[in-house]
């Protein structure tokens, strides 16, 4: 698989990474451990070098799983994890990016991931109670101490990114980006392009919707976050099929699957954008990685742009409460 550099940094990763959250958390029951390890190791065989986790996924269990799966391949992979929440009795209870808490989180992540240094450390969500300069300064100290290589932010606003970057260079912003989540194109993407920061696109398949496998009749397991998302109500899923129809047209034209077209579109936007689709299935892993081989002509991209501009996406991506508190 081709490689990409995240912004102006020297952090080179596979063009498509693997989001590991769903193996332990967020989409119903956790996957069977040996199977999940098999998927991660198959990803390495297919050229994936970039793996994403966080301490709140589980909590903790996803980092442990990733640490065990990737331990034999440590020198071949880049592991990203995140801090920024209080965890009490196995539940995420609120944002916490105080310097002492960051250090505590990093020590825990290092142990669970079985590594001596974290390749890419994100603040999971901006903490309104802690100046971003204090957060960036703490990570800067951790970089100097050899515990962290690169600093990242997740779902941060343009001014926050600028303020953090002035203290400790930000290598990557991780935010949701896909054909149906494009709000970052107005201000965020121009800002990070100006500053030389890469974009790591989570949910590039719209939590599965853009694969074309989900319609208004689909049912989700208990504990699956999609049961609570406004975009995943039956009415919204029915209305949003218009976007799937567009993706399917291009999939037929490209002899590809809808998932591959959706991922290839993300890849085509900028050479420093890296999508991190998640999966628990080997055949989906192979399908997703095949997107790296799909090329769009400028005319095709313009055609997708014009057609998608006519489609109104129904439903917000999260509830208002989730926007305030979620670690997803």
> Which residues face 12 on adjacent strands?
5
Distance of CA 256 to the CA centre of its chain: 23
Binned at pLDDT 50, 70 and 90, residue 328 comes out as very low
Domains of the chain listed by start with CATH number: 3-207+269-294 (3.20.20.100)
User: 73 an active-site residue?
Assistant: no
If you average pLDDT over residues 130-139, what whole number do you get? Answer: 98
Instruction: Summarize pLDDT for 218-256 with one digit per residue, the tens.
Output: 999 999 999 999 999 999 999 999 999 999 999 999 999
Contact 121, 82 (CB under 8 A): yes
Non-local (6+) Cβ contacts of 230 within 8 A are 236, 315, 316, 317, 318, 319
Q: Is the pTM of this model over 0.85?
A: yes
pLDDT band at 325 (very low <50, low <70, confident <90, very high): low
Q: In this structure, are strands 12-14 and 3-5 parallel, antiparallel, or unpaired?
A: antiparallel
Q: What does the pLDDT read at residue 326?
A: 54
How far apart (Å, rounded) are the C-alpha atoms in residues 5 and 42? 22
H-helix or E-strand spanning residue 95: strand 91-95
Residue-averaged pLDDT of the chain: 96
Average pLDDT on 55-62 reads 97
Angle between helices 99-113 and 132-144 (to 10 degrees): 40
Residues 6+ apart with CB under 8 A from 111: none
% of the chain exceeding 70 in pLDDT: 99
| Residue among 57, 177, 232, 318 flagged as catalytic | 57
């Amino acid at each position: 698989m081709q490689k990409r550099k995240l912004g102006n940094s020297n952090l080179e990763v596979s063009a498509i990474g693997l989001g590991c959250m769903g193996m332990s958390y967020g989409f119903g029951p956790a996957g069977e451990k040996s199977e999940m390890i098999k998927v991660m190791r198959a990803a390495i065989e297919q050229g994936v070098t970039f793996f994403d986790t966080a301490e709140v996924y589980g909590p903790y269990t996803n980092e442990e799983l990733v640490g065990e799966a990737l331990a034999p391949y440590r020198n071949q992979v880049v592991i990203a994890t995140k801090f920024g929440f209080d965890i009490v009795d196995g539940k995420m209870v609120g944002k916490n990016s105080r310097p002492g808490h960051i250090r505590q989180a990093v020590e825990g992540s290092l142990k669970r991931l079985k590594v001596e240094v974290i390749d890419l450390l994100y603040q999971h969500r901006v903490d309104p109670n802690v100046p971003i300069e204090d957060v960036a300064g703490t990570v800067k100290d951790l970089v100097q101490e050899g515990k962290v290589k690169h600093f990242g932010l997740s779902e941060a606003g343009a001014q926050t990114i600028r303020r953090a970057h002035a203290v400790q260079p930000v290598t990557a912003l991780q935010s949701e980006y896909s054909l149906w989540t494009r709000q970052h194109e107005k201000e965020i993407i121009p800002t990070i392009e100006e500053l030389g920061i890469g974009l790591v696109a989570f949910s590039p398949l719209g939590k599965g919707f853009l694969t074309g496998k989900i319609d208004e009749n689909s049912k989700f397991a208990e504990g699956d976050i999609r049961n609570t998302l406004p975009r995943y109500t039956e009415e919204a899923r029915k209305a949003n099929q218009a976007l799937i129809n567009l993706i399917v047209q291009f999939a037929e034209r490209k002899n590809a699957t809808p998932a591959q077209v959706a991922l290839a579109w993300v890849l085509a936007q900028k050479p420093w954008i890296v999508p991190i689709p998640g999966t628990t299935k080997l055949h989906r892993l192979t399908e997703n990685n095949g997107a790296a081989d799909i090329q769009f002509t400028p005319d095709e991209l313009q055609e997708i742009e014009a057609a998608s501009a006519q489609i109104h996406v129904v439903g917000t991506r999260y509830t208002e409460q989730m926007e305030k508190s979620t670690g997803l």
